[in-house]
């Protein structure tokens, strides 16, 4: 019997009984590409379904994803990367110079390079920013039984939705030529604060204020550390 090329288990059927790898891989063709796109975009367990659920009941759906059912929503890291990519494409398509976070000239070549990288890689930078927001959320909501990584998963979903909100404002700005991206940033932050507060305890008004504080402090911490790293790099280069 042939051995599985993934885990080396002997295969006596069409699929490996150990890891599920097909005994014979199909050729990559147009049907394969269409299936992969459908797998990402189809309604159940796809981006459209995930967007709808996160727009209506973000806290409830993320809690369900963490503790009960992880098949209904798109994987969180994929979600934030795809939504960030959508925002980046729309920004470039409409030639919008300012991102949802605008940082002026820092007079530091290394810091400017870091911020340029952030502006060109929103997916990865959002995940890193989410780590700092998660740390503050862990502090503010320490009595709740969620660890850092579970809160980070929450942030991936919520910040991904934030990117779609920024995208919507960018599209309207591109069509109307009215400066709206910064306003979209404020709306996105408010959505994130609402969603985070709903996740922890939607019955308490204080949850939403603590969520807003965690989000803002996380963003500030991320950018301050970026500036410090850039400044240190400049000083090392000069010496």
| C-alpha distance from residue 39 to each of 30, 46, 88 (Å) | 14, 7, 22
Between residues 211 and 235, the one the model is more confident about:
211
**What is the rounded distance in angstroms from the CA atom of residue 216 to the CA atom of residue 212?**
6
Q: Are residues 118 and 165 in the same domain?
A: yes
Q: Are residues 114 and 201 in the same domain?
A: yes
Domain of residue 222, residue span: 44-238
Q: Are residues 119 and 31 in the same domain?
A: no
Q: Are residues 35 and 50 in the same domain?
A: no
pTM of the model: 0.80
**What is the rounded distance in angstroms from the CA atom of residue 171 to the CA atom of residue 167?**
6
Max Cα-Cα span within the chain: 66
Q: Are residues 33 and 139 in the same domain?
A: no
How high is the mean pLDDT of the chain? 87
| C-alpha distance from residue 220 to each of 21, 119, 129, 143, 145 (Å) | 45, 16, 9, 24, 26
Q: Are residues 113 and 162 in the same domain?
A: yes
Q: Are residues 215 and 101 in the same domain?
A: yes
pLDDT at residue 237 above 90? Answer: no
pLDDT at residue 45 above 60? Answer: no
Q: Are residues 123 and 30 in the same domain?
A: no
What is the average pLDDT across 183-190? 92
Note the pLDDT tens digit of each residue in 73-92.
888 998 998 899 999 899 88
What is the average pLDDT across 55-61? 94
Q: Are residues 148 and 228 in the same domain?
A: yes
Between residues 209 and 110, the one the model is more confident about:
209
Would you tell me the crossing angle of helices 58-67 and 181-201 to the nearest 10 degrees? Answer: 50
| C-alpha distance from residue 173 to each of 143, 178, 179 (Å) | 42, 5, 6
Least confident range from 34-38, 155-159, 217-221, 227-231: namely 34-38
State how many domains the chain has.
2
CA 229 to chain CA mean position, Å = 23
pLDDT at residue 106 above 70? Answer: no
Q: Are residues 32 and 56 in the same domain?
A: no
């Amino acid at each position: 019997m042939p051995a599985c090329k993934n885990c080396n288990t002997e295969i006596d059927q069409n699929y490996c009984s150990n890891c599920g790898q097909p005994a014979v891989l199909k050729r990559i063709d147009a049907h394969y590409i269409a299936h992969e796109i459908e797998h990402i975009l189809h309604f159940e367990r796809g981006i459209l379904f995930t967007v709808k659920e996160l727009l209506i009941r973000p806290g409830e759906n993320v809690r369900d994803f963490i503790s009960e059912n992880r098949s209904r929503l798109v994987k969180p890291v994929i979600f934030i990367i795809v939504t960030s990519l959508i925002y980046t494409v729309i920004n470039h398509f409409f030639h919008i110079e300012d991102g949802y976070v605008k940082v002026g000239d820092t007079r530091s070549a290394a810091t400017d390079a870091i911020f340029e990288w952030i502006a060109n890689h929103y997916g990865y930078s959002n995940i890193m920013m989410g780590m700092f927001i998660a740390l503050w959320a862990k502090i503010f909501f320490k009595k709740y039984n969620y660890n850092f990584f579970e809160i980070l998963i929450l942030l991936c979903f919520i910040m991904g939705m934030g990117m779609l909100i920024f995208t919507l404002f960018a599209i309207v700005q591109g069509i109307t030529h009215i400066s709206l991206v910064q306003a979209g940033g404020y709306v996105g932050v408010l959505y994130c604060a609402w969603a985070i507060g709903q996740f922890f305890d939607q019955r308490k008004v204080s949850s939403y204020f603590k969520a807003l504080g965690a989000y803002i402090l996380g963003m500030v911490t991320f950018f301050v550390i970026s500036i410090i790293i850039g400044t240190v790099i400049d000083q090392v280069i000069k010496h």
